[in-house]
Structure 1
Amino acid sequence: MKGLKRLSAMLMIIFMLAGCSTGTGNNVEEPTMSTWEDVLAQGKNKEVTILMWGGNESINKYMDGFVSAKVKEKYGITLKRVPMNAPEFMSKLLNEKKGNLNPGTSDLLWINAENFRTAKQGGLLWGPFTDLLPNVSQYYDLEASDLHYDTGIPIEGHEAIWGRAQLVLTYDSEYVKEPPKSFEELMVWVKENPGKFTYPKLPDDFVGAAFIRTAYYELTGERDVFQKDMTREAFNELSKPVVAYFKEMNPYLWREGKAFPVSQAQQDELFKNGEVYMTMGFEIGKTAGQVKTGVYPESVKTYVFDTGTIGNSHYLAVPFNSPNKAAALLVIDFLQSPEAQIEKLKPEVWGDMPGFDTNKLDASQKSQLETLESDPASISMETLTNNRLPEMQSQYIDWIKEIWTDEIGGQ
C-alpha cells in the first residue's frame, strides 16, 4: 500500500511539472477511429501485448490457448501475454511517460480499483474508447453502475468491463450441515466450532479484505453510505461495531486468531486438509472445478450470505502509448463476447463471473449458461445478483485494511 501511495504521489508531481493532462503522450499519432469499421480496418494482423497478473495457471491457459487461438482466427492478431503485477506495470508505464517513449511497449492492461484511479489520474491510459465496442451495446446493461464507476471512480470510457466477481463461501456439507447465512449466524457457528473457521490476512490478501468489507454492510446497517464521501473520522466511528465483532470472534478462530492464512491459497489448503470447514473466494466456478477434478469431495458446496456479499468488477484498459490501439480494441471486444465470457465461466477453465446481461443472451447462449449453473457445486447467476452488495469507494478499502491491522489483526 505504501508503494502505491508513493507511486500516486510521484505521478501527481511529475504531471503537474510537465503540464500533462489525462490522455495520450506527446509523440503518439492518434488513430482516427469513429466507427467499428475503422477499428477493423486498422486493427487486423497486428501483435497485441497484454500486461496482466500471471499467478493463476487456469487464467494463463485460457489466455494463451482459447483466447489467443480465437483472435488469431478472427483477426489475424498475435496475442502476447506478459505476466506482470499491477504495481510493476504501473511503474513501467510511468517510466515510459517520463521518458516520452511513444509508441510504447504494451497494448492492454488488466486493471481495476486503486490502480485504475492512479493510472487515470496520471494520464497513463488512452480513451475514451468503450462506445466503439459492439458487444457492449448488444449484450451488456448500459445502465449498470460498474460500466460507469470502478470503486467510485468515474470510468469515462477509459476501461472496459471484462468480468464480475463476488465473494462466495465454500463449505463441506459433511461437517457443516446448515451453513451460517449471515455474520450474526456466523458468530454463533464459530463459537460452537472453535478453531474451524478463519479468513485470509489483511492487508495483502484481497479475499480477506473483501470478507471484512462485506461485514460492514450487515454490522453497520448501512449500504449507500459506502459509495458516498465521508471523513476518516466518520469512517472510524462507523467501523466500531465491525471492530468489536471481529475482536470478539478472534479467540474462536483457527489458532485462536493469533495467526491468519497469508493468502487465499493457504486458506484453501487448510480447507482441503480439514483444518477448517469453510473457505472463500471470488472465482464463482472454482469450487465446482475443484470437485470435478477430485481436489474437493462431492460434499463441498458454495453459497452466499442471505445478507449479501461484496461484488466487484475487473477491467481492461489501453495504455496511453499503445502502438496498436485498434488491435487492442478488437481483443477487448472478443473478450467481452458471450462466447469468451461463457468459456471463462466454465469451472474447469476459470470460473469467472460474466459481465454481460443474461437477459440479452439468445436461446443457445442461455442454454449454455444454464448447463453450467446446474452443477451441484455451482451457484446461479440469479442467486448471486440478488445477493450482491456494491463495492465501496477505493479510499475506504485502504482505510479498512489499516483499521484491521491496527485494531483486529494485531490483537
Structure 2
Amino acid sequence: MRPTIPAILLTTIFALPALADDWQDTLDAARGQTVYWNAWGGDERTNAFISWVNEELSRRHDVSVRQVKLTDTAEAVTRVISEKAAGKDRGGSVDLIWINGPNFLAMKEQGLLHGPFVADLPNARYLDLSPGSASSVDFTVPVEGMESPWRLARFVFNYDSARIGEPPRTMAALGDWAKANPGRFTHPDPSNFIGATFLKQALIELAPDKAVLQEPASDADFDAATAPLWEWYDALRPHLWRQGEAFPENEFIQQQMMNDGVLDISMSFDPASAAAAIRQGLLPDSTRVFVPEGGSIGNVSFVAIPYNAANRQGAEVVANFLLAPHVQAHMQNIEVLGSFSVLDPSRLHAEAQAAFEALPSDPALPALEDLGPTLLEPHASWMDRLSEEWARRYTR
C-alpha cells in the first residue's frame, strides 16, 4: 500500500502564500469570470483533469473554466488572427490556449500574446526560469514570460515485452529489428504531430551536425542534415506495416493496432500513456516503455493568453493554479493524468517533495531518471519541412 498524506496536512502543505496586493487585485478582478481554455480534446484523461481544474477554481476563487476542445491548436490561433483583422482588440473569444512551439512562435511574431505575465504569478517561484531552461525556451524560441508551463512531455516508444525481450534502442537497431520482424512496426502519418516527432527523433540521431537543427532550416542545411535520414528511411520503409504504403492516422489508432496484436511497438509523447492505457484495457498488460539510448525529444507544454482575451485575469489565475505544487502532484498521479511536473524539485519544501514521493507507481510507468537525457526540439521550421519532404518522397 502506498503512503498517503492526510487531507488536513495537504491543506497545510499547499496553503497559498500571502498574496501581494497586485495579485489580490487580479484575484478580485477574476472573480465571476469564465475562462475559455482552448485545448486539444483528444485525450480523455486531460479533459477530465481540466474539468477538475474548473471544479477547484470555481470553489476557491469563483473562476470557471470551460474547455474548448480542439483537434488542432491552429484553430484557436486562426480565431485570434481573425479577431485582430476585424479590429476586435478587446473581448476576444479565446482566453487561454494550450499552445505548441510553432503556434507560439507565430503568435509571438504577430503580437497576438498578452504578457509578459509569468513572473507575476505567485507560483512561478517554483519554476526554474533561468535563460535556457526548459521553462524559458519553446522550440528554441525564448518564452520571455509570454506563456506559462504546466506539464512535461517526452517522446517514448511503447513495446510488448511478451513479444520483445530487449527493444531496439537506436534508429539503426530499429531498422534491423523491423527487417527481422516485417510488418510489426509502423508510425503515424507525419501530417500528425506524433508521426512528425518520430521523424525528428530519427533526424536528431542521424544528422551529421545537430547544431544546425537549433537554427531556422535553410535549404542547404536541410538537405545536408536530412540526407542520412532519408537513406535510413528508404531501408526501413519496405519492412513497415503494409510495406510503408499506408499509415495510421494518429497515435491512438496505432495504439489500437498494438492492442489488437497487429504491431509490437507504438509511440507517444506521454511517458504515462502506456500505464494509463493498460488500466483502461487499451494496451496489453505486458506493455512497457523505452527511449532511445541517447535520450528522446522532450518539451514543456505551455499555456498562453491572447492579447485580446476577454477574461485575462481569470486566465492568469488558471495559469497560476496549474503551477501550485498540490496541483502538479495531483496531475502527476498515474491514476489522474501521469504527466511529470514542471516544477523545480529543489525549490519545493520537504512536505511538497514528500507528496510527489508518495504518488503510486506502476510497472509500465517509467521513473523520470529512466527516460535519460531530454533532447531539445529542433527549430519549429524543421517540422513542417520534414513532413512536407516526407510526403513528397513517399506519397503518390
- Aligned CA distance change for structure 1 residues 138 and 312 (closer, same or farther; 3 Å): closer
Q: Distance in 2 between matches of 1:117 and 1:139?
A: 22
SS in 2 for 1:110: strand
SS in 1 for 2:212: helix
Q: Does 1:114 align with 2:102?
A: yes
- Aligned CA distance change for structure 1 residues 291 and 370 (closer, same or farther; 3 Å): farther
State the partner residue of 1:246.
233
Q: Distance in 2 between matches of 1:213 and 1:248?
A: 17
- Aligned CA distance change for structure 1 residues 272 and 364 (closer, same or farther; 3 Å): farther
Q: Distance in 2 between matches of 1:161 and 1:285?
A: 18
Which of 149, 171, 175 is the equivalent residue of 2:159?
171
Q: Distance in 1 between matches of 2:324 and 2:29?
A: 20
Deviation at 1:267, TM superposition (A): 0.7
Q: Is the 8 A contact 2:148 2:302 kept in 1?
A: yes
State the partner residue of 2:148.
160
Which of 295, 298, 303 is the equivalent residue of 2:290?
303
State the partner residue of 2:185.
197
Q: Is the 8 A contact 2:216 2:380 kept in 1?
A: no
Q: Distance in 2 between matches of 1:87 and 1:109?
A: 10
Q: Distance in 1 between matches of 2:98 and 2:264?
A: 33
Please list the CA deviations of residues 231-274 of structure 1 after superposition, one character each: whole Å capped at 9, or x if unmatched: 22221111111100011011111111121112111111110111
Q: Does 1:219 align with 2:206?
A: yes
Q: Distance in 1 between matches of 2:129 and 2:118?
A: 13
State the partner residue of 1:8.
none
State the partner residue of 1:387.
373
Q: Distance in 2 between matches of 1:301 and 1:135?
A: 34
Deviation at 1:314, TM superposition (A): 1.8
SS in 2 for 1:147: coil
Q: Does 1:410 align with 2:395?
A: yes
Q: Is the 8 A contact 2:178 2:185 kept in 1?
A: yes
> Any residues of structure 2 matched to 1:143-154 within 5 Å, and which?
143-154=131-142
The AA in structure 2 aligned to 1:220 is A
Which of 397, 402, 406 is the equivalent residue of 2:383?
397
Number of residue pairs aligned between Structure 1 and Structure 2:
375
State the partner residue of 1:267.
254
Gaps in structure 2 of 5+ consecutive residues? 1-19
TM-score (norm 2): 0.89
SS in 2 for 1:145: coil
- Aligned CA distance change for structure 1 residues 104 and 61 (closer, same or farther; 3 Å): same
SS in 2 for 1:146: coil
Deviation at 1:147, TM superposition (A): 2.4
Q: Does 1:97 align with 2:84?
A: yes
State the partner residue of 1:15.
none
State the partner residue of 1:5.
none
Q: Distance in 2 between matches of 1:313 and 1:229?
A: 20
The AA in structure 2 aligned to 1:403 is E
Identity %, equivalent residues: 31
Q: Distance in 1 between matches of 2:374 and 2:126?
A: 23
The AA in structure 1 aligned to 2:381 is Q
Greater shift after overlay, 162-171 or 284-293?
A: 284-293
Deviation at 1:316, TM superposition (A): 0.8
Q: Distance in 2 between matches of 1:303 and 1:338?
A: 28
Q: Compute the RMSD of aligned alpha carbons.
A: 2.1
State the partner residue of 2:75.
88
- Aligned CA distance change for structure 1 residues 373 and 388 (closer, same or farther; 3 Å): farther
Q: Distance in 2 between matches of 1:370 and 1:195?
A: 41
Q: Distance in 2 between matches of 1:267 and 1:161?
A: 28
Which of 43, 52, 65 is the equivalent residue of 1:79?
65
Q: Does 1:313 align with 2:300?
A: yes
Deviation at 1:144, TM superposition (A): 4.9
Deviation at 1:175, TM superposition (A): 0.3
Q: Distance in 2 between matches of 1:219 and 1:170?
A: 21
Q: Is the 8 A contact 1:135 1:333 kept in 2?
A: yes
Deviation at 1:41, TM superposition (A): 3.4
The AA in structure 2 aligned to 1:247 is D
Please list the CA deviations of residues 125-145 of structure 1 after superposition, one character each: whole Å capped at 9, or x if unmatched: 111111101212224454453
Which of 175, 179, 182 is the equivalent residue of 1:187?
175
Deviation at 1:393, TM superposition (A): 0.3
SS in 1 for 2:134: helix
Which of 270, 284, 288 is the equivalent residue of 1:283?
270
Q: Distance in 1 between matches of 2:320 and 2:296?
A: 29
The AA in structure 1 aligned to 2:195 is G
State the partner residue of 2:330.
343
Deviation at 1:146, TM superposition (A): 3.0
- Aligned CA distance change for structure 1 residues 371 and 256 (closer, same or farther; 3 Å): farther
Q: Distance in 1 between matches of 2:121 and 2:27?
A: 11
TM-score (norm 1): 0.85
Q: Distance in 2 between matches of 1:210 and 1:357?
A: 26
Q: Is the 8 A contact 2:217 2:379 kept in 1?
A: no
Q: Distance in 2 between matches of 1:370 and 1:182?
A: 31
State the partner residue of 1:366.
353
Q: Distance in 1 between matches of 2:352 and 2:209?
A: 37
Q: Distance in 2 between matches of 1:146 and 1:226?
A: 17
State the partner residue of 2:123.
135
Gaps in structure 1 of 5+ consecutive residues? 1-32
